[in-house]
Structure 1
Amino acid sequence: MSKHYAGIILRVYPGSLAEELELVPGDKIIEINEQPLRDIIDLSFAMADEEIDLLVEHADGEREIISFEKDMDEELGVEFESAVFDGIRNCANHCYFCFVDMIAPNMRQSLSIKDDDYRLSFLYGNFVTMTNMGPRDFERIEKFHLSPLFVSVQCMNPELRAQMLRCPGAARIAEQLDNLEKAGADYHTQVVLCRGLNDGEELARTIREIVARRPHALSLAVVPVGVTKFRTDPFPLQQFDAESAARVIDEAEKWQKKLQQEEGRTFLYLGDEFYFLAGRPVPPTEFYDGFPQLDNGIGLTRNFLNDWEQTQPGPAAYEEPVYLDVITGTSVAPVIEELAASVQAENLHVRVLPVANDFFGTTVNVSGLLTAKDIIAELRRQEGPRHGILIPESALRSGEDIFLDDVSLQQMQQEFPEARIEPVQTGADYRRALTDWHHYHKERAGETAYMWQSNAGYTKNP
């Protein structure tokens, strides 16, 4: 690896080793002990040494070698602008169901990035198809013990997978999973289920072959395909309805019972949308085996309900009437409505407002894809007093008070000066907000970036 890349420092933590070395935001780390760096993985392992020569380029272009000694487990104490210094590895596929291809034109550029980078899979839990990976990548996975990874399988039929991903290399899925296992890596898997394509017998085959790959295969999640009104791909995609969703649940339950009998865990999980579509309750907590794919939305509703139930409610009454509007996506609205109705607090008036997603299309029904314009339009349609508005925090850009349509939370607040707007995320947030509104406020975490830790661990900055 002869080419040099730079890790650009975004933030230096007070009292850290980096501050002691007088590093500042904007400084670029080029080499450690004469080793070029591609990403924070290279940097982390290089920094495990106790004697360090750090090649740094300052904002004025001047380069400097900073030599120092450190404890093996001593942290540098910086965040970088990006976890990958040599650029995100882009997707080589043209999937029938690519959601990035279905976003609105002229939205911010970051929403149009098609990443398919195994490093971000390890660091962030992003799902990858592995169609752009070669022998050196698997060698690196083995060398640095990069495990677990998150793999978008979609199906185990080679020809069908190549067709769905529109990539001939996608047919090598079994070989690529073999390569992961030979490299000593475990992996979580996902299927984006497309009605009439990879469901039915194809799904049964996929489940059977992934199950056979335990213990390297850690879990398998099945989620329904989502389609927005901006989709221009000519291939016809059918979305699931109540009947077809029920068939998926019934088939999955057969496998789940078998797997639970074999090893005492479920292993195979369905996205909440299947249960909502079929009008069935989400499974109990023990079904989710500790929620290994919670960041992928698997078990999100059950986790939310548990959080609500485990939270002590606030006072049982308000001295004066309190009127609260609760914004939600249409899919989870029945759950929110049931919880709100269960709150018995005198003088509390709660109105749950399911917001139809006119921006992306009404087939998009999750709270996290609601835009400010649609929320504002729904609120304007409502009459009567309003003291507070609860909006789903998932609709805001991570670490920022900005919606997908680039409207800020402050701009929304200006539209409704009579009401206080509070983002809420967990079941605990909702219950505390409803039962103790006058004292409820939760500071949102700042924008997260990955920071280096000298024990070869990777954590998001809290």
Structure 2
Amino acid sequence: MRIIKVDQRSIAARRGLRGGDTIVTINGEKVLDLVDYQALTSKRYLNFVVEDAQGLRREVDIIHHGNRPLGIHLEQESLPPPRECANQCVFCFVDQMPKGMRPSLYIKDDDWRYSLLTGSFITLTNVSDKEFSRILRRKASPLYISVHATDDDVREKLLGTKLARGLLERLQTLKDHRLAFHAQVVLVPGVNDDKALEKTLSDLEVLRPAALSCAIVPVGLTCHRQGLRPLRPYAKEQASEVLAIIDSFRQRSLENWGNAFVYPADELITLTGRDIPPALWYDDYPQLENGVGMLRLMEDSLQAAKTQTKPASSVRYCIPCGYSVYPYMTCWMQTYFPKHSITVIPIRNDFFGPSVTVTGLLTADDIIKQAKDIPCDMYLISESILDNDNRYLIDNVSLENLEKALERPVRIVQNNGYAFFEAIQ
């Protein structure tokens, strides 16, 4: 890894490291990427072997005080592109994606380095024994692991590869090395629910405290499954059966460990018609990015943000959203903004199909067709509909073009109550 700059008066500069040096080893170990660099420089005593632009090598010793930055800036401040997934998962959402969508949506990533640094979920099927040893050596923790099932036959069926087998042994090894992980299970009706789910949760329970949490997420199915294995979505009765299994394990975990450990995605709860559980039900929200607890967090943040009732406004707002959140959003707007004209409109997902009801998978085309004629002065749109840069919707339509098509301004709102109170004048 090449050093492009060393801060003046930093400890690295005082010890003789310079921009243009290439790091050969740290404490005798090669530095392959950012994960290696971060792990190796976390030590107190550092021995750098560097090579200058002329090819001359030298050693630099540093005593690193952990609360002070070294002052080193690398040419590669981030990881290289993620390693691609080698699986053929029966529920893969990328395989259900038609052409012409946002380019980033076609990336099938499965990279433990990104799991460590960004919290993305991995299956470990493309991790060789040598690379797994590196995970242990670098103390990569916590990881985010797509378990799906601990039964080898069931997991192989789900992931479409024999490399899916043997996960429990690796998870046990992580525990033996005191490395932690979060788990997720994407549930497919008739495949990894019922007894298979009970076995998965029982096996993960044995791996505590290394196993930190487990999210249960229902399979997402679009209408673009031509040539793929037929699957069906969860209905209310089946979702209730899944929640009954989860409730049983949660109770046992609370008694034995003091926290719930297993958490159903909000989609499972809304599917059954249950009330949103209280905040304590989610402990410290360990699986929020997996859609677990977002409804509760939204309602609680609205309540916290309501320091005083906002005065009436002449601005008419329209909030397009998915069907799953529609009844909650309607109730929230009536409760917290009673003096404002706010129309919440559920957008039917014609592009992906009626079983896709989350807001984050709404296309610009569906929003335009169904919300354009709503009488309003401004649209409030969830940030989950856009990419990370808040520029493009999932069907690769820019925010600017969405505004032009709707012929009214569009304001992007973060998914919390404070953002709504700020957006609604």
TM-score range, shorter chain: 0.7 to 0.9
Segments of 4+ moved more than 6 angstroms: 12-18, 20-23, 27-30, 62-71, 79-82
Tell me how far 1:147 sits from its aligned partner: 0.9
CA distance in 2, matches of 1:51, 1:200: 54
Q: Which residue pairs with 2:413 in the alignment?
A: 423
Asked whether the 8 Å contact 1:357–1:370 carries over to 2, the reply is yes
The answer as to 2:395 corresponding to 1:405 is yes
- Inter-partner Cα distance in structure 1 for 2:420 and 2:62: 45
Give the alignment partner of residue 355 of structure 1, picking from 326, 347, 360. Answer: 347
Paired with 2:381 and 2:254, the residues of 1 have a C-alpha distance of 38
Q: Which residue of 1 aligns with 2:139?
A: 145
Query: Are 2:126 and 1:126 aligned?
Result: no
TM-score under structure 2 normalisation? 0.87
1:369 to 2:361 alignment: yes
Describe the shift of the 1:146–1:243 C-alpha distance in structure 2 as closer, same or farther (beyond 3 A): same
CA deviation profile, 1:268-321 (whole Å, cap 9, x unmatched): 110111111111112211111111111222111111111111113565323x51
Residue aligned with 2:365, SS: helix
Evaluate the alpha carbon distance shift between residue 138 and residue 184 of structure 1 in structure 2; reply closer, same or farther with a 3 A threshold: farther
What's the counterpart of residue 43 of structure 1?
A: 37
| Aligned-partner Cα distance in 1 for 2:398–2:9 | 33
Distance 1:8 1:238 in 2: 52
TM-superposition CA deviations, 1:331-364 (whole Å, max 9, x none): 1111101001113553x20000211222222221
**Is the CA contact 1:96–1:233 (under 8 Å) kept in the aligned structure 2?**
no
Contact 1:32-1:47 at 8 Å conserved across structures: no
Q: 1:13: how far off? A: 12
Aligned residue for 1:452?
Answer: none
Contact in 1 for aligned 2:182/2:214 (Cα 8 Å): yes
Contact kept? 1:413, 1:421, Cα under 8 Å? no
User: Once the 2 structures are TM-superposed, how far is the Cα of residue 417 of structure 1 from its aligned partner?
Assistant: 4.6
Equivalent pairs counted in the alignment come to: 416
Asked whether the equivalents of residues 32 and 46 of structure 1 are also in contact (C-alpha less than 8 Å), the reply is: no
Q: Work out the CA distance in 2 between the residues paired with 1:377 and 1:74.
A: 52
CA apart distance, 1:175: 1.5
Aligned-partner residue type, residue 349 of structure 2: N
1:343 maps to what in 2? 336
Partner of 2:92: 98
Q: Which amino acid aligns with 2:92?
A: C
SS at match of 1:362: coil
Confirm or deny that 1:291 pairs with 2:285.
yes
1:136 corresponds in structure 2 to 130
Distance 2:399 2:164 in 1: 42
Structure 1 residue 433, shift from structure 2 partner: 2.4
Q: Which runs of 5+ in 1 are unaligned?
A: 1-5, 438-462
Corresponding residue of 1:173: 167
* Matched-pair contact (CA < 8 Å) for 1:104–1:360: no
418 and 98 in structure 1: CA distance in 2 versus 1, 3 angstrom threshold: closer
Deviations 1:366-407 (A, max 9, x none): 11122222222222232x2x2221101011111342222222
1:221 and 2:211 aligned: no
The Cα RMSD (Å) is 3.2
Give the TM-score taking structure 1 as reference length: 0.80
Q: Which amino acid aligns with 1:135?
A: D
Rounded to whole Å, the distance in 2 between the matches of 1:203 and 1:68 is 53
Separation of aligned partners in 1, 2:346 and 2:328 = 11
Cα pair 2:379 2:408 within 8 Å, conserved: no
Q: Which has the higher contact order (CA 8 A, sep 6+)?
A: 1
Cross-structure match for 1:330: 323
Cα distance between partner residues in 1 of 2:320 and 2:58: 53
Tell me the CA shift for residue 97 of structure 1. 0.5
Q: Structure 1 CA distance, aligned partners of 2:254 and 2:57?
A: 57
Query: Does the Cα contact within 8 Å between 1:393 and 1:425 map onto a contact in 2?
Result: yes
Shift, 1:129, TM fit: 1.2
